[in-house]
Amino acid sequence: MSAYHYPIHIRAQAIESVTSGVSFVDVARFIGCSRETVSKWYADYRGYLGKEGIPVTMQSKINTESGDKQE
């Protein structure tokens, strides 16, 4: 049994829409799901990459927030 409630073609359409500039909210309204669901699909598609295409991990967030100070 699939862990996804929506078929792959719906998720692909959502990702394509977000990639072309449609907001998560508008895509979610059109599909009939939550904004969080569309956001998760997009994050899964991007592979949890940050804005610059760099993988975001908990450690990298901690280092960034602390200013990467080494004492």
Residue 25 lies in a domain: yes
Helix, strand, coil percent content, the chain, rounded in steps of 5? 55, 5, 40
Residue 71 lies in a domain: no
Residue 49 lies in a domain: yes
Residue 55 pairs with which residues in a beta bridge? 49
- The total of structural domains in the chain comes to 1
Q: Which two tokens stand for residue 45?
A: 């598609």
Residue 39 lies in a domain: yes
Q: Which residue has the higher pLDDT, 68 or 8?
A: 8
Determine if the pTM surpasses 0.85.
Answer: no
**Helix, strand, or coil (residue 49):** strand
Q: Report pLDDT digits (tens) over 10-61.
A: 999 999 999 999 999 999 999 999 999 999 898 888 776 555 666 555 444 4
Question: Which domain does 50 fall in, by range?
Answer: 8-65
Residue 34 lies in a domain: yes
Query: Residue 62 — pLDDT band, cuts 50, 70, 90?
Result: very low
Residue 58 lies in a domain: yes
Q: Which residue has the higher pLDDT, 69 or 22?
A: 22
Residue 67 pLDDT greater than 60, yes or no: no
